[in-house]
Structure 1
Amino acid sequence: MSASPVPLIAQTWDRLRRPVWLYDPQTSRGVYANPAALVLWGAETLDELLARDFSVLSPAVKVRTDRLVALTADGGEVSERWTFYPNGQPFTVQASISAFSMDDGREVLLFEASPTEVDAGERRAVEALRHTSAIITLFDRDGGRLFANPAVFASYGSDDVAFAARFADPTEGEAMFTAAVAGQSMAGIYPVVASDGHRWHHMDARPVIDPVTGAAGVLLNEQNVTARVEAEMARSAAEQKAAMSDARQRFLTDMSHELRTPLNAVIGFSGLLVEAGLAASRTDQARRIHEAGQDLLTVVNRMIARPDAEATEPGGRPEESPATETNAVSAMEPETESPALRVLYVDDNASNRTLVRAMLATQGIACETADDGARGVDAAAASDWDLILMDIQMPVMDGVEAARRIRALDGQVAATPIIALTANTLDEQIRGYFDAGMDDLIAKPVDMIELLTKVTQWGGSGWRETVGAGAMTGAD
């Protein structure tokens, strides 16, 4: 507070036994206080009180003060309970607050206060707090429990569970508590470890003042929202399954047209050339083209039909060459096929990046790129990807090291499928890719059918569901 001209009416207020003071909400400083108010605020003199700075307000007090300004602006008067903390000691009063015009034109707040006792309403509020399903805990700034309602014991089996220990990931709790101590309110839905197993709680932590000691604290309000979260997860999974089914049908329709139409011309004209009476060497060449076209048509037909007998188990690492027919067929399984995917492609060659992006774009697959392994690791950590395509031989950091570092990242990104896309395909090299945490391999030059089928196989939502299930059950 800073010294200000004292209004003439203050001569009358000085004789009152009831505390009266003026407060300027614009400067967060006092204007005047009578002797009774000096006693309430624990100040020896008016100058001492006016020198105090009240600009550091909790969010709740700031909102409450702004509300007083609005309600009293047109001559209104507000009567309500306030707890003040003179010299850190709480003092509860019933205050009448109104607007007061200073001689210099400023509008300030006039407080007229009288001590009060806890009434029946507050006693009922305490009883309601005991019976509410909301899980309420008050902590001091060091994390010590100051208060916990019975719902805390019902949820955790103890009313003295540490703040961070409630979270399935204690680091999330530590971050929330640190923010609240620093004056920032935080809220969100988190997995927690309750006495009856894993739950989802809406956690709301905010800075408060302990009304007993006047010290800063943290109020944690929890709501059990497990049923709502699980219902939303089930709904989302059902919608995704339906969308994937529709997308699969569109994909198969497009593939059938785009592949069978040119094959029809290849097989038809090569058959005519075989019967055209050409020289023996030319006839043999035409026959080879014709047979190759027939073989390719067989592969296309089997891929479109997706016979279950030829489908490999999704999520497993291939034991044979990645470009085999079996892998192309397994990639079309409906559980994993998803055209609307987000792919990160890491390759130092600009032409390779352009080619792969163009191939993926034919099926509506979004592809972002990075031009070396180090930037690939940064990009992987910075966003949410369905799949990562990783070149091996690159400057700055090669693909094997980049894969190791991605697997060491925190969170779900560490489980993102990684496919090596490389011309280095010796057996020993491939084993090194798998040892680094990669899941599959596509050999260069890139075959478009193999690329699209493996991207849809590995980029589907199955791996996310596995990771999510592990988080809910505590599985490794």
Structure 2
Amino acid sequence: MGRMGTGFDQTESATRMRAWDALKRPIWLFDPINLTGVYANAPALALWGARTLEDLLARDFSQLSEAVKARTDRLAKVTANGEEVYERWTFYPNGQPVTVQALISTYRLEDGRPVLMFEAAPADVDAEERRAAEALRHTSTLITLFDAEGAPVFCNPAAFAAYGSPSHPFEARFARPELSQPILKRALGGQVASELVEAVTVHGRRWHNMDARPVTDPVTGALGVLLNERDVTERVEAQQAQVAAEREAAVARAREHFLTEMSHELRTPLNAVLGFSELLQGSDLPGAATSQAARIHAAGQRLLTVVNQMIDRNEGDLPTVAAPCPAVPAVAMPEAAAGAVRVLYVDDNDSNRLLVTTILGSQGVVCETAEDGAQGLEAAAGADWDLILMDIQMPVMDGVEATRAIRALPGLRGCVPIVAVTANTLGAQRDLYASVGMNDCLAKPVNIAQLMETVAVWAITDPNAGAVAA
């Protein structure tokens, strides 16, 4: 920053300087924009501990604290139109504190530049009061003293910086002005009012913790209100973001649960309707009965289409990075291997167990069943299987937990191919099945061709090649 020159070679300024030089009270001028001294009379030089005017003007004031900068900026604004401010200041010439009562006004130099004029008188202030005053000026807490009408009579630099004026009324601080009067009345009534409110500041809307309490004005003796404000915007916004994220996650979980239940409750009975109606069409029935079975199958297919559309449309709104299970290629069951294939089907629905065993049995596949995941685990541990078909939503132990346990079995029995046969086929659910070691996913309701293709692919696969580590 530049050093200050006097700038007083003009006639009017020189005349005034000579008059000030004759005074016994300290007077000095300070440029609040450039943070430089401009002038000081002899008493002011003594106050500042300077031997000469040049010595004072050579001092570097650019390292003033932010609180002092804010205070001088406030004084410049308040006195710009001719007003005067009388307040206490503590200076540190040569590192030693000096406290004065100063009358502060704006003085314009010959070139029109406004500077602050200080007319000071020593103040008899003890050390504790000086420290309290400095703490008040430097704290980040916004502190304002109001009279009983809500008009401010004092504000510290932090409050001035937030609201841009020492005369900012109580009510104007609130984004919702109707909240101001109840808080003011509670404080004037002798209570402490603490509220989290949205405040309107020069920096926009901010969240403030406001603490309003009764106080006696030390100058007038009248009842007033001391308002302490702390800006907690970052904390409030973080909490709001967390609540919103938790709410969104809860909605997503609820929707996924609803879709899972709807899928299970609708697709499970459709599995039996479509499966048995397809079997009936291929059996030796009278002409009318065959036609009726075909109508039942067609109606079931239409209903399945509606269910699938409903599930798919709602699943698109769920926040997931879902990857479908590998598609099952069209592979016919080799006749030579058909008689050797052993399949374990785990499902709690007796109609589904009867349907699958009937379909597989008609193709020469040996199919045994278990009614829940715990029974399925016991069967998997006690015998060798070419393939396990695993339902998901079951009592006692569900298909996911059963698969985890099977994958933990030693040897080839822990590597048997496992295919999920389930109505729960949302993208995130398919990802879960793959993560626990399932090799494929067959959606209910299954048709005969899909079921046989899936068995043909996985039942003749080398268990070591198809194994998924637990």
TM-score, normalising length from structure 1? 0.37
TM-score, normalising length from structure 2? 0.37
